[in-house]
Structure formats: C-alpha cells, structure tokens
Amino acid sequence: MLTHAKLYSLEQYARVRPEFRAKVMAHKKNRQVQLGEHINLLFEDALTMQYQVQEMLRLERMFEPEPIQDELDVYNPLIPDGSNWKATMMIEYSDVAERQRKLAELIGIEDRVWVQVEGHERVYAIADEDLDRATEDKTSAVHFLRFQLDAEMIRALKQGAGLGMGVDHSHYQVATLAIPAAVRDALTQDLLEQPLQKSS
C-alpha cells in the first residue's frame, strides 16, 4: 500500500522524475498484454500506482496532506494484494467514429476478460468495483479489472505453470494461450503463496 512516506515531495520528484519515469516505463514492458488488435491490459502494482500518484500531484501542484490522501485512497485499491492481479483495461480504436461504434457493440466486455493458469479453470475479471463505468448504450474505453486466483493456481504459477489470457465476447474473441515468460514471471512475483484448502 502507498503511504505519504513512500511518496516524493514535489521538489524531490522534480529532481528524480526523468530517472523514475524511465524506471517505470521499463517496468511496465513486462506488465502489458495485448489481446487482439484493440485491447491492452496493464497489470498494476505499487510502482505503477506510485507513478500515477506522483504525476497527478505534479500536475495539480498538490502538497497538502488531505488531497494527497484522497489520491492515495483512489489508487491504493488498484494495487494487488498477493492473491490477485489488478489491471487497467484499455479499449483502443484510433478512429473516433469507429471507437464510438465499437464501444456500443462491446457492452459487457469487461466481464468477459479471462486469465487461465495451465491445468486450471479460466478466471474471469471482476470489473470496475469502484464505480459503474458502462451505460446502457456503450461500455467505457477504460476499465479496472481484478482477477482473483486461488491457492492452487498461485502455487502452480510459482512452480512454472503456463499462463493464458483472452476475451470471450460475442463481438470480440481472442485467446493468447502462452503469455511470454518475462510477463508471466513478472506477474507471478505479485503473488504470495496461500495456504491450500484442506479437502473434507
């Protein structure tokens, strides 16, 4: 979890920003998964969220404790807790008219994004727990997803099991059955081994 103590002051951030930004961009490379041509997942963690907060504070010239805490309260829930992954999902169409048309077609897509640990069932995203980001007419271009993994899935990943991801929507079907090892390894580091449930 991010706290005030873990953030740079505005003055400190001005000095370290180029180096810090380069570090975050390199870090993100192994935390992004492209699903088909138009959906990009960025798997968040404490570092990516710190960058978001620092950039927001810089943009708003924010240094008072209360508004900073408000920002932390917004972004901390997007940090995984060791039993899940949390991702920002971006639906990307460069043409504005096409994007509007597709967002109308893709209602509910945020609930049809899945991850699958080799040998286990698919885990579908729990989307937008903070607020409803869709309307009756269209979905949003940005969603926040949580993938909740059980102890056996986590153990399998720690032991080197493969990882797949995809989207199962009537207007957008894609499956990437072998996520690159560098991405799989980076995401596995987010997870903490959980006690296995004893069968009765």
Alpha-carbon distances of 191 from 83, 126, 157, 197, rounded to whole Å: 6, 17, 9, 17
pLDDT value at position 197? Answer: 66
Structural domain tally of the chain?
1
Per-residue pLDDT of the chain (200 residues; tens, 9 = 90+): 889 899 999 999 999 999 999 999 999 999 999 999 999 999 999 999 999 999 999 999 988 888 899 889 988 999 999 999 999 999 999 999 999 999 999 999 999 999 999 999 999 999 998 766 666 789 999 999 999 999 999 999 999 999 999 999 999 999 999 999 999 999 999 999 877 766 54
Token pair of 169 as six digits: 């929507």
Q: What is the pTM of this model?
A: 0.90
Listed in sequence order, the residues at least 6 apart from 141 whose beta carbon sits closer than 8 Å to its beta carbon are: 90, 91, 92, 99, 103
Q: Does a structural domain hold residue 115? A: yes
Which one, of 199, 111, 115, lies nearest residue 153 by Cα?
115
pLDDT at 200: 45
Q: What is the per-residue pLDDT for 135?
A: 67
Domain that holds residue 134: 4-188
User: Is 158 a domain residue?
Assistant: yes
Decide if 200 is inside a domain: no
Does residue 63 fall inside a structural domain? yes
Whether 53 is covered by a domain: the verdict is yes
> Does residue 24 sit within a domain?
yes
**Length of the chain in terms of residues written:** 200
Phi, psi of 83 (to 5 degrees): -115, 5
What local confidence, expressed as pLDDT, does residue 132 receive? 62
Domain membership of residue 121 (yes or no) is yes
Do 71 and 53 meet the contact criterion of CB atoms below 8 Å apart? Answer: yes
Cα angle, residue 92 at apex, residues 183 and 129 outer, rounded to 5°: 70
Nearest to 109 by CA among 84, 83, 138: 138
In a domain, 195, yes or no: no
